[in-house]
Amino acid sequence: MSVALPPRAGSHRRTTQVPEIVAGSAAAVILIAGSTGLLSTYLALAVAVGVVSALAATRLIRLALVIHAARRSFGPCRGVGFLGAGVVASGSTVLALALVSATVRPLLLLLGLLVALPLYLLGVLLLPGAASTVSMRLRRGFDGLSLGVSLAFVGWLMPPAGGMPPVALAVALLAAGGLSIIAVTALRSFGYRRAAGLCGAGAGASVLGLAVLGVLLTYDVPGWAPLGAAVPLVVGPILAAAGTRYANPGAQPPPPGEPETHLSAYPLLTVPAVVATLAAVYHLVVVGEFDHTSIVLGLAVIPTLVVREVFAVLDIRSYARRLVSQEAHFRALVTGANDLTLVVGADLLVRWQSPAAARLFGLADADVVGRAFADLMHPDDAASVTELLTGVLTGPASATGRSPLVTARLRDGHGMWRDTESTVSDQRGVPEVDALVVHVRDVGERRKLEHQVHQLSFTDQLTGLANRRDLMRAIVTQRSLAGHTGSLLVVDLHGMSAINESRGREVGDAVLVEVGRRLRTGAGGDDVVARLGGDEFAVVTVDGPMLAYALGIRLIGALTEPYQLPGAIVSLQASIGLAELCGGSGVDDVLRRAEMARRRAQQLGRNRIEWYDSDLEEQLVRRMDLERELPGAAMRGEFDLVYQPVLGLHDKRPVGTEALVRWRSPSLGTVLPAELVPVAEDLGLIDELGQWVLHKACRQLAEWSRGGRQLWMSVNVSVTELTGSEFVGRVAAALTIHQVEPDRLLIEIAEPSGEVDIMGVVGQLGRLRALGVRTALDDFGLGPASLAHLRRMPVDILKINRSLVSDPSGWQGQGKPVIDVVVSLGRRLGMEIVAEGLESADQVEQARLAGCRFGQGFVLARPATAERVEAYLEEFPSPSR
């Protein structure tokens, strides 16, 4: 049984207890009728008790069946069933009194008590919460029995008990023992189940009523006197029926909330002995002697107490074994745990430490117990630890229920500082503890692992530099400083692909490691050097853009020095882009700007540093547009050629033309070679573009030659295109296809610079000369080593840059006219001289006086389409050869 009140408990009880109220009222009316003589005494007694007993028995038996159906077990329903059987037995006994003679009634009542009492006892002992085991039920029985024997002993010694009839004595003894057992058990169960308490009270009232009625029947009492015993006989079944109203058939028995020895230990154990002793002393003083029956009753108290003590000893031993087992479990837990447990008092002194202290931290009890908890911590952490513990002692409990966390360094038994985390639990509310319980855990390995994870997350594994994530974090940190300065340098290496392909990945990795070392050496102590990936690096410097620019120049010098490796010497080129950290909308924008500057540096020739500005972004956007639109331009027919005549300076007659490519883009407009050729080289389209120009120029030259004109056609070729293995073959094929004489085709190349294979260029020029094609060196005088190239390169025409004509005193004004020296040297080497970029009559005259036979420039003739050039040529009927 268990308490199960519906939400509106008061209204429910008023409606469901109507049958009990009606039955009780009817029984009262019947008893009143019996006392007034309207009904005979035993008939009124039988009817009144029979009505309420029938109601209670029906309720109890029905509840037993419901419990059995709900829980599918005979165990929980047995207590209710025995109570129902006891009510039936007591009601049947009272009913039978009206059917027998007066002389038989005492024996009949004794017999009925002998049947009903065991049923009541079994029902009460099986009530929920009374006793969960057979041992506990026996203990309840002996508790009540010892108390009952003591009460019987007292009753026997009191006059006139000594003269009681045997039947009355038997009834009294049975009632004393039974009522004591029922009282002890019902009090125990009432603390857990209100329904069980009411049923137990009903059983006790019924037993009391039978006992009173049995004693009255053995004495000569008035005829209405037995009706007085009807009160407990009527109240008992009504209480039992009321108890069924509070039962919850489907509820499971709860776990014991307190020891089952409650109401069964001292001082209850001492009550029988004290009562018996006081009664014996009183009888001895008043009477002076004991009869045999009193001696037997007095001695009967002893066995019950002994048996009860045996049960108590068994309980103590079981409890002791349970304590030993629990202590063993506790020791196993605290000894094998990975946490050190400390008990810290309100004075912050350590009272106890777990045995794991020696294993985990090498600490003995003498090193810890009695010392302040903060004294065990590092001096830098002691103040914060004391403050936190004091806050736990004085402050309110945490609303979240979380234990405070103490992070500090603890000195172990070997004098080493260990990183620890401690959780503090306030156990002052537990009387057995009354202190703070601190669990200390060594987190040194975890901190080490966290550091390793940090290294993996923010460090490049090959070079040991910061990675992109750490670089971004450094930029964010620097930008967050008030009045911050700083710059970002993005470094791109050129040549790593060739190293990896020719010498292997191991050599390439060794080069990258050396690059990282050189960057760290060249950067400042507060700078962050990072590897962004592949052959791209970056430096975040705290310096402003001017100092950062100087740093970039130093880094280029360091990175382009040869790399001495085992069995190999390699060289690299570098391009650096610079952006200020204060610019842009965020970190990504800063990195984007530096990348754009780096890309511009690469486009302008490498081994240089470029500084980001708004014009640079426009140039790069323009470059990206060119790269996007150039593929497929030839197939779309967007390329065109214009031709600029080359004239003789003495007679102003055309001797040749130079084919100049134009890209007529619908979206970008007209793109000149200065923009077109570098993009084509980077995209790998220079061969396609060169073939188109070569065939277009040869076709146009063939058309102009049909009229007998003896003109040459010069075609500009990049060094990259010239050094291609198939270039000479393509030139020969074009001459054959368009039937052009080889000596009328002039291949122009710009003066080689940088890391160009000069010997490869010389070899290709020699093959062209062998084919009969003439060659020219364009823009002579613009490079730093032009005179040295003249002796090695087999060219037929030298086209001097206009800077030598516009500044006849020489390069950057260094003394005597250099143009005279260049023209003289060219003629001595067997070369014709063409002055380029002539834009005024004075320049034409200066070039003629210096000895130049041919000239080219806007002042002589502007580049034009084939039709306009052809019209121009018609003005000269006899073209010069």
| pLDDT lower than 50: segments of the chain | 1-15, 74-75, 161-162, 191, 256-267, 398-400, 785, 808-816, 879-881
Beta pairing partners, 538: 490, 530
Q: What is the pLDDT of residue 15?
A: 43
Residue 475 and residue 416 in one domain: no
| Dihedral Cα 650, 653, 655, 659, nearest 10 deg | 120
Q: Which amino acid is at 649?
A: L
pTM of structure = 0.47
pLDDT at 392: 85
| Same domain flag for 646 and 780 | yes
State the residue for tokens 């009664």.
279
**For 172-185, how does the pLDDT look when each residue is reduced to its tens digit (9 = 90+)?**
777 777 777 777 77
Residue 608, helix vs strand vs coil = strand
Q: Give residue 356's region: left, alpha or beta (phi > 0; psi -120 to 50).
A: alpha
Same domain assignment for residues 424 and 518 = no
Query: In DSSP terms, which residues pair with 575 in a beta bridge?
Result: 492, 608
pLDDT tens by residue, 659-678: 999 999 888 888 888 888 88
Residues 593, 733: one domain?
Answer: no
**Residue 555's domain is classified under what CATH number?**
3.30.70.270
pLDDT value, residue 263: 44
CA distance 83 to 852: 140
Tokens of residue 605, six digits: 């020739």
758 in a structural domain: yes
Q: Are residues 602 and 671 in the same domain?
A: no
Q: Are residues 565 and 660 in the same domain?
A: no
What pLDDT, on a 0 to 100 scale, did the predictor assign at position 179? 75
Residues 364 and 483 both lie in one domain:
no
Say which DSSP state 864 is in.
B
The residue type at 264: S
Instruction: Return the DSSP state at 163.
Output: G
Count other Cβ atoms within 10 Å, centred on residue 670.
10
Residues 6+ away with beta carbon under 8 Å from 572: 493, 494, 495, 496, 499, 511, 515, 559, 560, 563
Do 468 and 383 lie in a common domain? no
Same domain, 430 and 470: no
Residue 158 confidence (pLDDT): 64
pLDDT value at residue 814 = 45
- Which residue reads 């070392």 in tokens? 517
620: in domain: no
CATH number of residue 844's parent domain: 3.20.20.450
Q: Where is the domain boundary, 397, 423, 448?
A: 448
Boundary (domain end) residue, out of 225, 250, 275 = 250
Q: Are residues 682 and 606 in the same domain?
A: no
**Residue 243 located in a structural domain:** yes
Number of domains in the chain: 4
E-only strand ranges, 301-404: 339-344, 350-353
Helix H, strand E, coil C: the string for 273-311 is HHHHHHHHHHHHHHCCCCCHHHHHHHHHHHHHHHHHHHH
Residue 273 lies in a domain: no
Residues 438 and 469 in one domain: no
Among the candidates 612, 645, 680, a domain finishes at: 612
Domain interval for residue 387: 338-448
Is the same domain home to 674 and 535?
Answer: no
